Amino acid sequence: MVSTQLKPGQKARVLSICGGRGIEKRMLEMGIVPGTEITLIGKHPFRGPVVFQVGNARIAVGRKMAESLEVEPEEAND
């Protein structure tokens, strides 16, 4: 599913980034690559940015960019 469909607090693993080489590269620089575990912190209303927790860092990603992030939610077992 697309990362913006995650609920706040939900964890997921990145499957792929499909927004072209430029976007892929900027995500990679921020430490978001296939396999990275991310947690959605919040989605700003009116298609505003989405904030993810990546490791111990918080990264705000523009909505369009976040939509290019395909993720697989982790089983909520807590």
- Residues near another protein (CB under 8 A): 22-23, 25-31, 33-35, 41-49, 51, 54-62, 64-65
- Name the minimum Å distance from CB 73 to another protein: 20
- Name the minimum Å distance from CB 72 to another protein: 17
- Name the minimum Å distance from CB 55 to another protein: 5
In angstroms, how far is CA 5 from the centroid of its own chain? 10
Q: What is the DSSP letter of 7?
A: P
Q: What is the DSSP letter of 2?
A: B
Helix (H) or strand (E) holding 63: helix 63-66
